[in-house]
């Protein structure tokens, strides 16, 4: 198991708190960069030296929505290799299909209960900790 660097694209403050709280309970310290929307995410990715290992993306965001961001990401010659995982409230089949079509590494439904959420995120982190990433 090794530390992962996440880019969390989430406009909701409490969702961000939830994610960080789950990560805080883990033995390994992962790094989380949080941006509030797609524009900020693109800005961040353009300027950072540290390309994240995994992108976690909320679908419903103000301004540029998740799917629009995903399209731009997957059109980029370099950034398209970063696995992107959707965190969404909606199990709208249309959205899910569209996301997999564009290219995602996972689609996670946010559950109502914090316990369930915590379990899902722990599993997700554990899974990606087992994976190798491209060094960019």
Going through the chain in order, the beta strands assigned E by DSSP cover 5-9, 31-35, 54-58, 84-88, 106-109
> Among 77, 115, 132, 135, which residue interacts with other proteins (rule: CB under 8 A)?
115
Q: What's the half-sphere exposure (Cβ side, CA atoms, 13 Å) at 16?
A: 14
Binding to other proteins (CB under 8 A) within 86-105 occurs at: 88-90, 92-93, 95
55 forms bridges with which residues in the sheet? 7, 84
Instruction: CB nearer to other proteins: give 82 or 85.
Output: 85
> Among 1, 3, 17, 28, which residue interacts with other proteins (rule: CB under 8 A)?
17
Q: Is 130 in the site for other proteins (CB under 8 A)?
A: no
Q: How many residues bind other proteins (CB under 8 A)?
A: 20
**Helical (H) or strand (E) element with 69:** helix 66-75
> Among 81, 100, 114, 127, which residue interacts with other proteins (rule: CB under 8 A)?
114
123 phi, psi to nearest 5 deg:
-65, -40
Binding to other proteins (CB under 8 A) within 18-47 occurs at: 18, 21
User: Considering the complex, what minimum distance in angstroms separates the CB of residue 20 from other proteins?
Assistant: 11
* Best CA proximity match to 57, nearest among 47, 69, 72, 45: 69
User: Considering the complex, what minimum distance in angstroms separates the CB of residue 28 from other proteins?
Assistant: 21
Which residue is listed with tokens 């996440």?
6
User: Considering the complex, what minimum distance in angstroms separates the CB of residue 30 from other proteins?
Assistant: 19
Q: Which two tokens stand for residue 30?
A: 């992962």
């Amino acid at each position: 198991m090794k530390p992962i660097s996440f880019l969390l694209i989430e406009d909701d403050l409490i969702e961000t708190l939830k994610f960080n709280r789950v990560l805080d309970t883990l033995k390994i310290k992962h790094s989380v960069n949080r941006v509030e929307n797609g524009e900020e995410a693109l800005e961040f990715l353009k300027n950072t030296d540290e390309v994240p290992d995994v992108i976690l993306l909320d679908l419903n965001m103000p301004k540029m929505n998740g799917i629009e961001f995903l399209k731009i990401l997957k059109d980029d010659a370099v950034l398209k290799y970063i696995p992107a995982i959707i965190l969404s409230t909606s199990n709208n089949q249309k959205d899910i299909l569209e996301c997999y079509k564009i290219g995602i590494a996972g689609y996670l439904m946010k559950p109502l209960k914090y316990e369930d959420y915590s379990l899902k995120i722990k599993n997700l982190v554990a899974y990606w900790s087992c994976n190798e990433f491209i060094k960019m």
